[in-house]
């Protein structure tokens, strides 16, 4: 795992985008692993710019998102399907048919099984990740097995509180989500993890300094041989090494 610390978040996002550019311009049918939340928004803006400037194209790309809330349909403005259209898909030349976000309204067991089957067929070339303040990646909350594949998860109070800022009230935050498991994420050829802000500093310390353990789901990434961690100085502030 390598990590870099930035004073300037524009530079950080350009660095993240350059890894996606490399994949999009060198792989014939690139498979992208995508994320939602505040963290990837700057990266997506960079990718939209690169696409408008015709430096990259998503024409031959497909994508798999990490997660979706249970109970929200794709038209709900806080669903992750909606987020992806707003923040990326509607602004680039990706074929929407080739984008995958698990459905929050289907038969959950079938949605998970189908998603795992698709992920068996398509190896993700590059995955963008944020990190939760509790060390989760996607919605793999503390305690999740490193062998977990796509599953339904009961969100922790911490994750619900962290995400309440997107909803009118904390009671509106869904209590469950469908998430790719740690094993699915680990199968990506390359992983870019971005963390910004002081409230991520404890999680970043777990990510980089804790021995791999399931209380810190992010720590699984230490065993992966192609992970780039991009931090702002606040997120890096608790690192001791
Ligand atoms: P955030 O969420 O990007 O909105 O901070 C990250 C996460 O929970 O993984």
Tens of pLDDT, residues 152-185: 999 999 999 999 999 999 999 999 999 999 999 9
Is residue 100 within 8 Å of 115, Cβ to Cβ? Answer: yes
Amino acid 241: pLDDT: 74
The answer to whether residue 67 is catalytic is: yes
Tell me which of 13, 87, 134, 184 is the catalytic residue.
134
The answer to whether residue 141 is catalytic is: yes
37 lines ligand 1 (CB under 6 A): yes
DSSP H or E stretch at residue 186: helix 182-186
Residue 75 class from Cβ within 10 Å (0-12 exposed, 13-18 middle, 19+ buried)?
exposed
Please report the sign of the dihedral spanned by the C-alpha atoms of residue 106, residue 108, residue 113, residue 119. Answer: positive
What atom of ligand 1 comes closest to residue 196's alpha carbon? 5
130 lines ligand 1 (CB under 6 A): yes
| Residue 193: count of CB within 10 angstroms of its CB | 24
Is residue 40 within 8 Å of 128, Cβ to Cβ? Answer: yes
| Residue 153: count of CB within 10 angstroms of its CB | 21
Tell me which of 13, 65, 67, 162 is the catalytic residue.
67
The answer to whether residue 136 is catalytic is: yes
Residue 25 reports pLDDT greater than 80:
yes
Rounded to whole angstroms, the Cα distance separating 60 from 146 reads 31
Rounded to whole angstroms, the Cα distance separating 9 from 1 reads 20
- Element counts in the chain: helices (H) and strands (E): 7, 10
Query: pTM for the complete prediction?
Result: 0.97
Is residue 153 within 8 Å of 66, Cβ to Cβ? Answer: no
| Residue 185: count of CB within 10 angstroms of its CB | 25
Four-point Cα dihedral 28, 13, 39, 53, nearest 10: -50
Distance 65 CA to ligand 1 centre (A): 14
Rounded to whole angstroms, the Cα distance separating 87 from 90 reads 7
Average pLDDT, the chain: 97
Q: What is the pairing mode between strands 62-65 and 2-6?
A: unpaired
Q: Is 154 helix (H, G, I), strand (E, B) or coil?
A: strand
Read off the pLDDT of each residue in 79-94 and give the average, rounded to a whole number: 98
Read off the pLDDT of each residue in 8-12 and give the average, rounded to a whole number: 98
């Amino acid at each position: 795992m390598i990590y870099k610390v930035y004073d300037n978040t524009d530079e950080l996002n350009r660095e993240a985008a350059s890894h996606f550019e490399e994949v999009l311009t060198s792989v014939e049918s690139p498979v992208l692993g995508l994320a939602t939340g505040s963290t990837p928004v700057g990266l997506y803006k960079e990718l939209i710019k690169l696409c408008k400037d015709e430096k990259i194209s998503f024409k031959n790309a497909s994508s798999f998102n990490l997660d979706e809330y249970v109970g929200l349909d794709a038209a709900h403005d806080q669903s992750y399907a909606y987020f992806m259209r707003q923040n990326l898909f509607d602004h680039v030349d990706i074929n929407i048919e080739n984008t995958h976000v698990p459905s929050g309204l289907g038969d959950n067991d079938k949605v998970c099984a189908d998603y795992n089957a698709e992920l068996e067929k398509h190896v993700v070339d590059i995955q963008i990740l944020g990190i939760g303040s509790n060390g989760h990646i996607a919605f793999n909350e503390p305690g999740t097995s490193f062998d977990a594949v796509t599953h339904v998860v009961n969100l922790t109070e911490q994750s619900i509180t962290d995400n309440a800022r997107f909803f009118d009230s904390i009671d509106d935050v869904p209590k469950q989500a469908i998430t790719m498991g740690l094993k699915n994420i680990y199968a990506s050829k390359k992983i870019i993890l971005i963390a910004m802000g002081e409230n991520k500093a404890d999680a970043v310390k777990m990510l980089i300094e804790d021995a791999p353990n399931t209380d810190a789901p992010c720590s699984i990434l230490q065993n992966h041989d192609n992970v780039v961690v991009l931090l702002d100085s606040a997120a890096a502030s608790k690192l001791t090494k």
